[in-house]
Amino acid sequence: MATDSTDIWDQVEHRYADADGVRIHYAALGQGPLVVMIHGFPDFWYSWRKQMRALADHGYRTAAVDLRGYNLSDKPKGVENYAMPALVGDIAAVIKAEKVDQAVIVGHDWGGSVAWNVAMRRPDITRLLIICNLPHPAGIAREIAANPEQKKNSQYAFNFQQPDAHQSISLERLTQWVTDLQARPRYLQAFQQSDVEAMLNYYKANYPKPDAPPPPANFTFPKVQAPVLMFHGLDDQALLPGALDGTWRWVEKDLTIMTLPGANHFVQQDAAETVSNTMIDWLSRRKP
């Protein structure tokens, strides 16, 4: 059996799903119940390399998606093509391409937002939900509107909403968060194959605006019907942990929240072993 440190770069199977004419690339590894993994900004499928290896070694099939606009997936023009319904459709297309009815949905950052929305809008294809450093969208909206520190720390996202924001982004700088120096050249190559304007369209289409009011008290999201596991690196400055408060109001089944001191926004890499081992343990207790 391969060890957790084995690089999966040359071991994955590269596949494509058709989402209403948009080709979505994903890398697959292993055999067993399907786990769909969705990266955030700025990232690509390789973000999940440690978890893919660990899950494949424990009898799961992982499908790590390149979000539309990124790396080997199609990059349609226009902000409207990055609105949440289209992103949810991309994940449904991957599950269909794998010829199964349901999957465990895993997401980080924007991938976490997509994962929450898949669970809310398509409970029929969501068996379980695992989220890395992306509080429930209602919690984020509340904190941006009501918590001055969160609003201040979201300034980068408000900047990304400006029409020409992509013109001032350096691809080299986008790789600076990658602490694995062997992986960094692969990130640069993936970003060179991506569309930076498309990356920022996620913020333009879906992120709260700086002057948005908090959600009204009677505003309701569809409750997530699947059990939920959340990881949150407490050193994350983009998404402060206060947004986790009240998550239990938006889920119907059991909710497990693991906070990780010393881990940053990219918790699946900062605390890879803890995240992988906890995922495997949590999933093993909920086998179909």
CATH dotted code for 13-284:
3.40.50.1820
Q: Which pLDDT tens digit goes with each residue over 169-196?
A: 999 999 999 999 999 999 999 999 999 9
Give just the sign of the alpha carbon dihedral 134, 196, 64, 183: negative
Average pLDDT, the chain: 96
Higher pLDDT, 31 or 221: 31
- The DSSP secondary structure of 248-280, one letter per residue, reads GGGBSS-EEEEEETT--S-HHHHTHHHHHHHHH
Q: What's the confidence (pLDDT) of residue 287? A: 85
Task: Note the pLDDT of residue 212.
Answer: 86
Tokens 């918790």, located at residue = 267
Q: Which amino acid makes up residue 222?
A: P
pLDDT > 90 in the chain, percent: 93
Confidence (pLDDT) at 218: 79
DSSP 3-state assignment of 36?
Answer: strand
* β 13-19/22-29 pair status: antiparallel
State residue 213's pLDDT score: 84
